[in-house]
Every structure is written in structure tokens, then in C-alpha cells.
Structure 1
Amino acid sequence: MSEIIPEEHPFRDDDETAELKKLNDELRANPDDYDVWEKLVRATENLEGGLNRNSSPQAQQAARYVYHNFLAKFPLFFGYWKKWADLEFSLVGTESAESIYERAVSSVTVSVDLWTSYCNFKVDTCHEPELVRELFDRAADSVGLDFLAHPFWDKYIEYEERLELPERIFAILSRVVHIPLHQYSRYFDRFRTMSHTRPVHELVPEGLFRQFSAECVSAAQMKGGNELDIERDLRSKIDQYYLEVFHRTQAETSKRWTFEQEIGRPYFHVTEIEPAHITNWNRYLDFEEAEGDYRRVVLLYERCLVPLALYDEFWLRYARYMYSQENKTEETRRIYDRAACHYTPIARPAIRMQWALMEEATGRADVAANIFESILDYSLPDDLSIITRLANLKNRQDGQDAAMAVYNEHFSKPYASAATRGGIVTGMAKLVYQSSRDAEQARQIYNNNCDVCIDSETFWTGWLSFEISLPAYPKHLAQVKAVHHQIRTLSRLPAENVKALSQQYMVFLTERGDKSAAMEYLDLDALVNGSSVVTSFMRARMAVGTEMAAAAKVNGNH
């Protein structure tokens, strides 16, 4: 029975465990520090001079607590899973160790080393051949196609040799000779040698055997041959068939060797992968996808996501591939779930955003909304892109009022930044205009929030861009000009932001201005791009011009 893992650390208050508590406290402050985790594991293993069956219950629980939390944080460290299983075997026995191995292979499904160790453990501790073979077959389904799976296949053959069952050895070899493996020729040589001693009906699948037999019988009847001639011809035909298999496997192996020799680090670590190795994985994936064998493609994705588990681009690539396959919605969902729950921090939301779209596309808009809300609740409460995505989701699914409710909720948050508030106002105005084509209603949203967003660059950029983007109408130029004037005279933006927005307005003048646009453009150009002296002069001249225009307006009213 698997031992229960304590939720709180079980370290005693003594000198020996003081270091453990110190390291554990460091990890609470920074759970991503791998070096501290490694120190904690080593310190735990050395408790009481080295853990064994006679160690105190407190020391044993401390070890379980550390291994459990370490491998929950870094589940792809297959070597530590094996160390934990070995420890459980020494402390408790077979059943406890087996439960750790089961957790291990569910976490690192494509580790040849881990599956081989598990099978070796099973061989040593189980005396029921069918149960052992069941595990070997599970392992073969998980890692049997791996280019470097020969240690596993060797262990499987070794087990059947121990039981002195040549028919089972031959069945394994019959399977292996079709797989592009690093040591393919060794298996083929043994297979061919054994084939000379096996009954002819065992050499090929039943359907192929009937076909070859019929061909040989027909040929023998034409030549007047006997039973021995038929069997000799049949074996020759089967041998030729497997020679073709060998050449095909050899060619497939050679194709993959180009990529395999460039893999570099095939195991997980927190350190970065070299760019050349990342390029090689992408090229290898391109190759397997083009080959079109679904099982081989999935295996390669799973293999590459061991060393590249912390690289979002490969999770997204895997999810896109799976989504492109027929009837693979659940498989796609599991990819996103694994990436989001174990390897990609919530502060990097790209995978979760893509996951939300997939959930919405498959009729689970409520799940999509929950994904966005979890990002906002637990990591990025003021992230404008997430707020906008959530509002747009609500608009698509529940209508404009639901979207506006999302915007209003996050606008009123006390921690909302000026940039976020300005972006929210822009989002609300865009939503209103897109649904009603009522520019005045959208403009009113900007006007109503002008005082609150006076120092928000996103607000003023959004408003100016909105006015510029409208189709031409009688007061279009005047309206754009009015917003630009407010930016220069009312907003509390840094000078570089005002300059950038003025340049945007100047482009508008050249494209959609009236006959006076050239003069206004040159005035603004001198103001925003001139030297300090020119800028001061232009500012004074434009101020005088503004005063004269205001006086003329007053006199005209009289």
C-alpha cells in the first residue's frame, strides 16, 4: 500500500533537520530554484546516516514529503523517480515501490530508461509471467518506437530467454525488425538466424502466409514439385520478403539518424537548450509530420517535450498538430491542460489564451471564460489583453451588455493602471461602434472618461485612432483636430507620447486634410521636430494665433 504523503513538512525540531527546514523555507520563497531543491533531496537522503528500513517514521515521512513535492514541481526528472522507487522498496517493499513507478511512467511516458527500470523491477519482484508481459507490452506501446529503444527491447528478449520460450523471442523480433532503431541490424541478424529453425507458418502474419503459400503451391503444380519443394520455395519467398523489410527499415533508420545525432540533450533540465538543438527538433518534427505516421509523430512530440517542456512554442505546435487531426478534441485538450498545469507559468498566458479559444470552439464557452478569469485572478489582474479577450468572448457568446459588464468591472478595480483604464475605454467605444455604427455614442464614452484617463497614453491613442478611422463626414477634420488639440493642451502625457500622437495626426493631414493642411502640417513639424529654439518660437506663434482666433470669434458673436 502506498504511504500517505503529509501536507505539511514533517521535519523534527532538532539539529539534523534544521538544514532541511532552512532549505524548505527558501523554496517556499522561491519554488523555482532547482539548486535548492537538489540540496534538499540530498540532505533528506542522508537523514540518520542514510535511509533504510530501520529509519525512524519521521525520517521516512520527510523523504516522502521532499520527493513528492520535488517531483510535483519537476515531474520529468526520471532519475529521481527511480531513486524514489528504490527508496520505497528499501523502506516498505514491492507494492509501495510499484506505486511510485506507476506515478513515474504516467509523468514521463516516453522515457526508455524509466520503463526499462520498471520492467526490470517487475521481473525481479513478480513471479507471474502474464503480469510481467502485460507491463512489457505497456512499455512497448509507450517507448517501443523510440529510436534508442534497444535497452528496453533487450530487456524484454532477455526475460523470455530466462523463461526459455523461443517462440515468444521470435515474436518480439518479428515486431522489432519493422522499427527504425539505432541497432536495427543486430535484431535483424538474430531474427534471420532464428527464422531458419522456426516452423514456416510462424514466420509471417497469417494473411501473408496464405498468400505466399498459394503462390508457391501454384508454382509447384506447374513444375510438378513436391511438399519439400513447396516449403523450400515458401521459405525463400519469406526470406526475400524480410530482406525487403530490412532494406526498408535501414532506409527509414538512415533518414532519422540525420536528426537523432543532432538532438544534444534528450532529457529534462531547467537550463536552456542550445538554439541549434531547437532548430533540429523543429526540422525533425517537420519530417515526421510529412511522413504521416500518427503514432510516430505523437511519440516525437512527446520525446521533444521532455527537454523542451519549458518552451511554450512546442506545446503550441503540438496542440495545433493534434487539433488538425480528426476526432482528437480530447487529446488536444489534454495537451493544453498538461502545459498549463505543469510547465507554463500563468504569467505567460499565450497557451491558456489558445486553450480558451479551443474550448469556446468546441462548445465550452464557460470553461473558456474560467480560463481567462483564472489568469486575471491568480497572476495578471491588470492585463489589458486578457480583459479584452474575456470581454470579446462574452460579447460573442452573451451579447454586448455582458461584455460591457466585464469592462466596467475591471475599470473600477482599485489597482487598474492608467494604461489599462485607457485601453478599457477604447475597448468599450470600439464595441459600441462596431455594434451600432453610432460614432457619437462611442465618442461619448471617450468624453465621459476624459478626466479619469487624462494621463493614459492608451486612452488618447485610442481616441485619436478612432476618430481618424471613421469614414469621411462633414465635421471629420474638425473632430480629429479637436482631439489632437486636447492631446496637446489637456492631456498629461510625456512629451515623447505627445510627439508620437502629433506625428500620427500629421499623417492624417496629408492623407485626408483640406486646403490648409499643408500649412498646419509644417507648423506642427517645426513644433515637434524642430530644435529647442524653433520649438519655443512655434509654441509662442501658435499661442498668439489661438488667442487671435478666440478674439475674432468673440467679436463675430457681437
Structure 2
Amino acid sequence: MSLTDRLWRKVNSNVADFNSWVNLLDAAEKQPNIDVTRKAFDSFLEHFPYCYGYWKKYANVEKLQGNKDRCLEIFQKGVEAIPLSIDLWVAYLEANLEIINGLDDFETRMRSLYEVALEKAGLEFRSDALWEHYVSWEAGHNRLGRVLSIYDRLLCTPTQLYFQNWDSFKKMIEDNRPEDYLPISEFAELLARVSPVAGTAMRIALKESKSDTVPIPDITEADRSAIRKLVIDRREKVYQATYLQIMKRWFFEEKIRRPYFHVKPLEEAQLNNWAEYLSFEESEASSAEAVFNVPVTEGHSAAEPQITFAEVQLAKKRVCILYERCLVACALYEHLWIRYAKYLEYTEHNIPGAREVWRRACCIHLPTKPTIHWHWALFESRHPAEMDETKNDGKEPPKSITPLEIFTDLEKRLTDSALVCDRRADAMRREGKSLLDQIVCLRSGINRLRVRATEQTSLAHSVTGATASFSAAIALATAAQSRAGASYLVGKLARLLHCNAGNQIPPEGLPLWQLLLSSSFNPAKTPLTKNSFEEDEINVNVEQEGPSSVSLFNRMVN
């Protein structure tokens, strides 16, 4: 068996074994067959989509193979999986600059991609590299008007390197002529303030013109310097307002030590900081909405609101951006996923968005965590068929899933959990499944747990070596837990068969009782199937069971 095959066996037996995945990727990358490499990367990124470095490595592998289109496809999947990764966006942009350069629609496609990047990740506090990349690209082609437009948006955005961005903005203003970067209307307005005659003439010409272009009058360098100062002064008010927003968040930002994903646990102080930061942003959004919704008191005329609707929406978007940032670093902590989903459900009333959060948490990042699956099932029971395209960014809303489907999928991953089997049986009852289906569910759970208890007991008696005592103790504890789980499910099955009024056993349930009593503590050699519960195939009676079975029967009934 090759090294790659051995590593595949290890990761298939434990998909959460991150180190084995890394070793597999290293081995697969050295294989001459690109399909082997693709299979390894695809499988790894399906389980760990927040590892942005491996998206870059995968795309680079395809690029080295000459598969440029596939390289871009992988980057596209990467930024969809982790849209707040600035490093991944920059690498994606660099790849596009290299691969599609020279095409007729190169400029349009690049600008569109930059805008998508800013829409997805521009509000990330550490997004300065993305903004700078966009500025450099436009400035490199001497499109100074677009550069100023980008700076106008950047100066409104709290980011980590805000002071450097302000200095870069001022340098761009001072190193170029105002008429080369200012919109014509703003240039005419400011020119009128420093040179009334020339400015007024230009504004009149602009008003009479049917286009946005008019001849620029000859102006002195002194006038240009005065206009530059006005441009900076006008935007300094925005700079100061944004500076206050930065200072509010700096307390939390400087405490973030690991903003990226890793399987290693986070320190408790880090988790607390994220929780407090989220509470702060939620409070900011709530306060903004409260100010916007202040009613007009009787006897007073409606005044201009202190905050606009767009600002309220921006505050809400910042909350979601912070949640997404938090969940990159804290992807393995289910309480934060639960908090995000409940925020979307109860505060934003965004049911499709909440459903997508539950899906990502339970199907990708926490597939074996029971608690978050309980919460997802409760959510689906509250919103069984909600469809709201207006709150899902124009995308097709995620399909509703039933609690039974949730527990069925979870039981496939947690075959030794009595509680999951119990919840699945309850979901079957609520969805009107037959009594036989519920019994088969519980009986299969009992079988699995009994088998596991037997296997672990045998393992405890066979281990050797320096750590034999420890390994045996673990195995015996697991066996005891499995036996306890099986006993719990036996009780559940007993209650299910004896749930009617009057404490009378349903006639059709008697053969099932007999089968239960004969097999719960005397394991059958072959596993029971659904057909095993048909009455015409059961030839067991209570008298044949012996005193112990009758005694157990009476205890369960009473």
C-alpha cells in the first residue's frame, strides 16, 4: 500500500484529523497524476473551507500545470467559501491581472471583480491591502478620477491602517492637478471659491452645456494649491468622523491574536473578546435603528433624521461582517454559530440567512456536534417551509430540511449516540411515521450500542504495552457508556410500546414486546431488520422466555 493510500485510510477513518490531511496534501501534491492531487485538495477543502492558504496552493498547482481557467475557478470557489479573506482576494486579483490581461474586456472585468471584492470584504477591519490594490491598479493606468472615488469610499470605512490611507490620499491630491482627478462639477464649485470670475464662467458653461465636459480655464498654480487645500479640508470632516468609529473598535481589535482559522483551541480571553465585540456591534446597530425610528411628537414638525436609512443598513451589515470574521477564527465553537443564526432569525428576521448559517455550521464545520443540530431542528420546526428571496442577496434561498432529515444525517455520523437515536425516533413520531419505523430506529440503535460495548470490552482485555492500563480504562469506560445508552433506548422502546391509555399493551404490540425481551439482553447472532418485526415471522411466547424475561416484562409495564 502506497503512502497516499495509507494517508487516505487515516483521514477517512477520522476526517477531523487535521495533521493527517496536511500530510495527505503534501504527498498528493508530489504525485505526477493531477487527478490524485485534485481529489485530495477537493476533499480537504470540503471539510476545511476556511483554510485560505490551501485554496491558494491548490490554484497554484493548477496554474503550474497550465490550467489557467481552472486556476481562476478554484480562486472563485475559495472567495465564495471564505469571502472575508483579504489575502485570498488579493491572490485572486493578481491571478486575473496575469491571466486575462490583453482581452478586450479586461478593464471592465477587472473593475467588476474589484467591486465585488469590496462589496464582500471591504468592511473587514483589516482590508487595507484590498483597497490599496484597487487604488494602485487604477492609478497605474492614470485614472485619477476613479482613484479619488475609491478614496472617498475608503475614508468612510474604519480600517486598521486608516492613518496611512489618509496620508496616501493627501499625497495623491498634492502630487496631481485638481482638474485631473476632481469631477467637473466639484472642480467648478471649488474654482469659484478661489477664483470667482473663472469659476462662475465655468459653472455657467457647464450648466448650458448638454454634456459633462467643458473647457478648463487657465488657472494659476496658486489657485490649484488653494483648491487642493479645499479638497483635503472637505474630506477631513469625514476622516475625523471615521476616526471616532475606529477608536470605538480599536479596544477589541488589538486583542484579536488569531484572526484566521486553525483547529487548535482558542484561549478563553479570545472567545470573550469576540463575544464582547459582537455585543458592541449589535448595540451600535440597535442604537442607529432606534435613532432612525424616533417618532415625530405631536405639535412638532418632522425634522431631518439624525441618521439615514443607508447608515442603519450599514450598521447592520457591520454586525454580519463581524459575525463572519468571528466564525472564521471560531469555526469550531458551536455557541457562536448558534448566536449568529438566532441574531439573523430574531433580530433581522432573515430566515433564509439563518437557515444558511445552520447549514454551514452543521454540514461543514460541526458535523458531529449534537447540540447545534438540536437547535437547527428546532429552527426548522418553527420555519418548515420559509422562502424569502428578498433577504438572501438575490440568490435562491436554501431549501428547507425537516428535523427528521437532520437527525438521520447526524445518526450516520454518530452511530454510537443513544441521544441522537432517541431524538430521531421522536422526530419520526412527530412526522407521523409508523410505529414499526420508530421501533426499527430504536432497535437498530440498541444493536449498534451493544456491539460497540462488546468490542470495547474485548479491546480492554487485549491491549498491551506501556499505556495498556490507560487504554483499557478508556475502552471499559466507552463500553459502560454504550451499555448505558442501550439500556436508555430499551426504556424508550418500552415506553413507546406502552404509551396508550389504561396501561394496556396493544394486542399488535405483544409480539414486539416478546422480541424485545428475548433480544435486548440476549444478543441475536444476526442483526434485526425491519422485516424481522412482521408478526407472521415471530414465533416467541412469554412462557418460553423464562422467569427473568417475565420479571423484566412486568417491571417495564408497571
Superposition TM-score, scaled by structure 1 size = 0.64
State the match for 1:552 in structure 2.
none
State how 1:105-504 maps to structure 2 within 5 Å: 105-127=79-101, 128-192=106-170, 194=172, 197-198=177-178, 202=182, 241-292=234-285, 293-346=315-368, 348-364=369-385, 367-380=402-415, 383-384=418-419, 387-388=422-423, 390-391=425-426, 394-395=429-430, 398=432, 402=433, 407-413=438-444, 415=447, 417-426=486-495
CA distance in 2 between partners of 1:67 and 1:443 (Å): 55
State how 1:1-40 maps to structure 2 within 5 Å: 18-40=2-24
CA contact (8 A) 1:37 1:70 kept: yes
Gaps of 5+ in 2: 204-222, 286-314, 386-399, 450-485, 521-550, 554-558
Moved more, 69-78 or 194-203: 194-203
The percent of aligned pairs where both chains have the same amino acid is: 25
Aligned residue identity for 1:319: A
CA contact (8 A) 2:89 2:117 kept: yes
CA distance in 2 between partners of 1:384 and 1:441 (Å): 27
State the match for 2:37 in structure 1.
63
CA contact (8 A) 1:160 1:166 kept: yes
Deviation at 1:181, TM superposition (A): 0.6
CA contact (8 A) 1:105 1:115 kept: yes
CA contact (8 A) 1:289 1:297 kept: yes
Deviation at 1:73, TM superposition (A): 2.5
Of 42, 49, 58, 2:26 maps to 42
Deviation at 1:72, TM superposition (A): 2.1
CA distance in 2 between partners of 1:213 and 1:188 (Å): 23
CA distance in 2 between partners of 1:354 and 1:286 (Å): 21
CA distance in 2 between partners of 1:318 and 1:419 (Å): 34
Deviation at 1:67, TM superposition (A): 1.9
CA contact (8 A) 2:410 2:420 kept: no
CA distance in 1 between partners of 2:436 and 2:324 (Å): 41
Deviation at 1:363, TM superposition (A): 2.8
CA contact (8 A) 1:318 1:335 kept: yes
Deviation at 1:491, TM superposition (A): 7.3
Aligned residue identity for 1:31: V
CA distance in 2 between partners of 1:384 and 1:428 (Å): 19
CA contact (8 A) 2:159 2:246 kept: yes
Deviation at 1:319, TM superposition (A): 0.7
User: Residues 107 and 147 (structure 1 numbering): CA distance in 2 closer, same or farther, change over 3 Å?
Assistant: same
CA distance in 2 between partners of 1:286 and 1:317 (Å): 11
Deviation at 1:30, TM superposition (A): 3.0
CA contact (8 A) 2:497 2:513 kept: no
| Cα deviation 1:453-501 (Å, max 9, x = unaligned) | 89x9xxxxxxxxxxxxxxxxxxxxxxxxxxxxxxxxx779xxxxxxxxx
Gaps of 5+ in 1: 1-12, 48-57, 433-437, 457-489, 493-558
CA distance in 1 between partners of 2:411 and 2:12 (Å): 23
More RCO (CA 8 Å, sep 6+) = 2
CA distance in 2 between partners of 1:35 and 1:43 (Å): 12
State the match for 2:77 in structure 1.
103
Deviation at 1:424, TM superposition (A): 4.3
CA contact (8 A) 1:391 1:406 kept: no
CA contact (8 A) 1:418 1:453 kept: no
| Cα deviation 1:185-219 (Å, max 9, x = unaligned) | 22223334555744599579x9xx79x979x99xx
| Cα deviation 1:44-71 (Å, max 9, x = unaligned) | 3344xxxxxxxxxx43222222222222
State how 1:497-536 maps to structure 2 within 5 Å: none
CA distance in 2 between partners of 1:200 and 1:241 (Å): 18
Deviation at 1:393, TM superposition (A): 7.1
CA contact (8 A) 1:259 1:280 kept: yes
CA distance in 1 between partners of 2:505 and 2:281 (Å): 51
Aligned residue identity for 1:158: S
| Cα deviation 1:151-208 (Å, max 9, x = unaligned) | 111111111121111011111101100000111122223334555744599579x9xx
Aligned residue identity for 1:422: G
Superposition TM-score, scaled by structure 2 size = 0.64
CA distance in 2 between partners of 1:148 and 1:129 (Å): 26
User: Residues 250 and 310 (structure 1 numbering): CA distance in 2 closer, same or farther, change over 3 Å?
Assistant: same
State the match for 1:486 in structure 2.
none
CA distance in 2 between partners of 1:313 and 1:372 (Å): 19
CA distance in 2 between partners of 1:425 and 1:162 (Å): 76
Secondary structure at 2:280 match in 1: helix
Aligned residue identity for 2:373: R
Number of residue pairs matched by the alignment: 412
User: Residues 384 and 75 (structure 1 numbering): CA distance in 2 closer, same or farther, change over 3 Å?
Assistant: closer
CA contact (8 A) 2:411 2:420 kept: no
CA distance in 1 between partners of 2:434 and 2:20 (Å): 45
User: Residues 237 and 394 (structure 1 numbering): CA distance in 2 closer, same or farther, change over 3 Å?
Assistant: farther
Secondary structure at 1:305 match in 2: helix
Secondary structure at 1:267 match in 2: coil
| Cα deviation 1:285-323 (Å, max 9, x = unaligned) | 111111111211111111111121111111111111111
